[in-house]
Chains A and B, each alone.
Chain A
């Protein structure tokens, strides 16, 4: 369907198939919102059911969480820069900012794994209580999304290196950008409703 290019539009919107893919991805993100909303609802229902195990106050440490937050928020910004460079047709800029984004993302995942390991060493596993089950599953789902996103973005970057900036590769980069911003938004909710709320109460 590369037949009719509409060059007036940004690269990623130039073919009909691309437009459909991007719309489809938006709808997919809608489904993801409902998925995370359900997980948040589950967490908020179970977050006070400790079954004699540790509470939010016993576990959470603001410092690590702040670092994670800053890493992820910055990565969202650099991801935006990458897409900006893509729109300027600057392949090198796109790749550079993408790599920075992914390094920040990897840093986030590393810190999160480290945080989980600390909790488990303190005896707080996902089998301990309903609160911890919902905590680990909510954050784990987000972390898994970020990890998958990193792997996926690497694949897309390989394709950009190999094929240059075409409507297809631009669309792929654009979609991964959307995905990355979405995960960032989810994290803001986690940070607010899980960590901040947990430490205040």
Chain B
């Protein structure tokens, strides 16, 4: 196959050289540190092979935060480049790579892992389960996502980054116009991560359907569980489309077929359709769980149950249904004809209806409440006005004819950042501040949290509000430069400064995580927020078996009901029984590594090597098929000791918010 070693590493760009050195040093540093601390065995036993949903969730979150950093650096590079007219920081090629990886990483490797991470930690606790339905599959999902993300991330130093935009429109993304392997990274790395996500979807559907605790009917599920459940359904319904689209892209790029190519009868428009058939539901996949988190946070900190629970459920089901019927609004300008554009304008605008219902329900949850301005609640509050701007501009974009003037302009960029940042990132932050004690047994610092909040929110608005006006003045997205005559300069500069402020905000989050891990008070209540749902009915951090005795649900907001009626909070010794738990397994991580290796070979078009590696995947499946490990039983004494420890402490501490 003739490996061209001289082209293996990307050379000739000082920025990339710097990153290469930094990556190398970091890797050496991590390996040295772990070796020095003699933590390899611990890492392997406690984390790499774990099937505990909480630990898997934490690894997802860690990965999401890391990817946020990477995607954020990409974003800052773009903002720095366009801060002034005729910027010289990046050349066209480099800029194209940067916005491509920014998009892919932020959506697939930042938003998704953070949300799925929180889902992993919280859903089994909220429904009173001991784990997800398929714990080992869950681990495989995580490691595949991780493997895909790592594969995608090495592209800018080895082999070359994808450079056709996160939408990878054909024919541009085909070999006729991008003959390097950069876009192979897109096709293969996302595929690997996507398989993991699909498995997560299946896992959570079964978990929610089959593993709810006694008494928790569907209409007594917490809102976050509802939204995650619906999200899982959308995942299962839409990710196979992505799988096919990416597979066809791989065939076009690596095996010379003609699905989307210019030559041979290929049809570029089909890629656009397939991509958005997945891509639009994907937006709701990330936004719906976020809505669920806001519901939990708003309800907890208003000390009221969610207003209009039933209409909330109908809204999310409605949004999920409509999300499949709007994909054409991403290309009204393709000339599909007035009838098609009219229909899709209507379906798109209809999404505003259930979304509006949700907004009003949140507002009325707060009405007559007692609103506490914790950091988590601040994020939920800031979400409402910011998301309204994103939503109203969304309706404007949905109007087919008007879209002809907005399409592909910075107006569009501003719109979807106003939807995704308040709708997803704010939610993740709210969720992290809210559930941090449940994950780690200590709170995140509220003071640092508020700095994080104010810098981030002000920076966010400063970055993206100007873009609406730039777009209406004819500034287009993905353009690495513009001339001084356009007059875009001043607003672009404001936007770039805003991005800097936003980055400082993110810095405060990172520092907060570090500070709190070192100094925060460990002596906290298992229910520090006086919350309403079952995840707070057990210790913080939750023991690996989650609940010593499974609670029984009698009402919505089950834990609130238990507290009000002092029902089921006490644990009698004779109620403790042996608990069956699944065993750890090294197979998922090994499979994911093999997947990564096979993917790497395929990306470099070393087909035989890829085939050999793929045999490794089959070998892994066979090993799994013959694995009859049925888990283990936690002895009563161990449970007793664990439960005593936290229940005793719990009586002594007061809650930490006031």
Answer yes or no: do A and B interact: yes
Spell out A's residues near B (CB within 8 Å).
1-3, 16, 19-21, 23-24, 27-28, 30-32, 34-35, 38-39, 42, 45-46, 49-51, 126-131, 133-134, 136-137, 151-152, 155-156, 159, 163, 168, 172
Q: Binary interface profile of B, 254-278, with partner A (CB < 8 Å = 1, else 0)?
A: 0111110001111100100010010
Stretch of B115-123, B203-211, B217-225, B534-542 on the interface side: B203-211
B265 and A34 contact, CB distance less than 8 A: no
- Chain B 231-253 residues near chain A, CB threshold 8 A: 236-241, 243-245, 247-248, 251-252
B236: A residues at CB distance < 8 A: 27, 30-31, 34
A2 and B257 contact, CB distance less than 8 A: no
B134 and A20 contact, CB distance less than 8 A: yes
Stretch of B385-393, B397-405, B492-500, B620-628 on the interface side: B620-628
- Partner pick for A34 among B133, B241, B266, B580, CB 8 A cutoff: B241
A127: B residues at CB distance < 8 A: 255-258, 264
B248: A residues at CB distance < 8 A: 42, 137
Provide a sorted-by-A list of 30 A–B residue pairs whose CB atoms are within 8 angstroms. Answer: A3-B580, A16-B210, A20-B134, A20-B210, A23-B209, A24-B203, A24-B206, A27-B202, A27-B206, A30-B236, A31-B201, A32-B240, A35-B243, A38-B244, A38-B277, A42-B244, A42-B270, A42-B274, A49-B266, A49-B267, A51-B264, A51-B265, A126-B251, A126-B257, A127-B257, A127-B258, A127-B264, A129-B258, A133-B266, A156-B625
Closest to B263 in A: A51
Once the chains are docked, how many angstroms separate the CA of A39 from the CA of B209?
29
A46 and B267 contact, CB distance less than 8 A: yes
Tally of B interface residues using CB under 8 Å: 46
B206 and A151 contact, CB distance less than 8 A: no
B206 and A34 contact, CB distance less than 8 A: no
Interface centre among A28, A130, A172 (most CB of B within 10 A): A130
A127 to chain B, nearest CB (A): 4
Closest to A35 in B: B240
B266: A residues at CB distance < 8 A: 46, 49, 130, 133
- Partner pick for B198 among A20, A31, A172, CB 8 A cutoff: A31
B259 and A46 contact, CB distance less than 8 A: yes
B570 interface hit (Cβ, 8 Å): no
B241 and A130 contact, CB distance less than 8 A: no
Once the chains are docked, how many angstroms separate the CA of A46 from the CA of B258?
10
B575 interface hit (Cβ, 8 Å): no
B418 to chain A, nearest CB (A): 31
Closest to A23 in B: B206
B630 interface hit (Cβ, 8 Å): yes
A46 and B240 contact, CB distance less than 8 A: no
B127 to chain A, nearest CB (A): 14
Once the chains are docked, how many angstroms separate the CA of A21 from the CA of B624?
14
A129: B residues at CB distance < 8 A: 258, 264-265
Q: A19 with B270: in contact, given A49-B265, A130-B259, A159-B626 (CB under 8 Å)?
A: no
B75 to chain A, nearest CB (A): 32
B622 and A155 contact, CB distance less than 8 A: yes
A159: B residues at CB distance < 8 A: 625-626
Once the chains are docked, how many angstroms separate the CA of A133 from the CA of B261?
11
B247: A residues at CB distance < 8 A: 137
B628 and A20 contact, CB distance less than 8 A: no
B618 interface hit (Cβ, 8 Å): yes
Q: Binary interface profile of B, 182-210, with partner A (CB < 8 Å = 1, else 0)?
A: 00000000000000001001110110011
B237 and A134 contact, CB distance less than 8 A: no
Q: A34 with B240: in contact, given A45-B267, A129-B264, A155-B625 (CB under 8 Å)?
A: yes
Once the chains are docked, how many angstroms separate the CA of A151 from the CA of B267?
36
B622: A residues at CB distance < 8 A: 155
B362 to chain A, nearest CB (A): 31
A38 and B203 contact, CB distance less than 8 A: no
B258 and A155 contact, CB distance less than 8 A: no
Closest to A148 in B: B618
A19: B residues at CB distance < 8 A: 210
Closest 4 CB pairs of A and B: A49-B265, A130-B265, A133-B257, A51-B265
B274 and A38 contact, CB distance less than 8 A: yes
A102 to chain B, nearest CB (A): 16
Once the chains are docked, how many angstroms separate the CA of A106 from the CA of B481?
59
A130 and B630 contact, CB distance less than 8 A: no
Q: A24 with B265: in contact, given A34-B237, A155-B625 (CB under 8 Å)?
A: no
- Partner pick for B205 among A27, A39, A133, CB 8 A cutoff: A27
Once the chains are docked, how many angstroms separate the CA of A3 from the CA of B579?
11
A32: B residues at CB distance < 8 A: 240
Interface centre among A45, A133, A172 (most CB of B within 10 A): A133
B210 and A23 contact, CB distance less than 8 A: yes
A15 to chain B, nearest CB (A): 10
A116 to chain B, nearest CB (A): 14
Once the chains are docked, how many angstroms separate the CA of A49 from the CA of B259?
10
B241: A residues at CB distance < 8 A: 34-35, 38
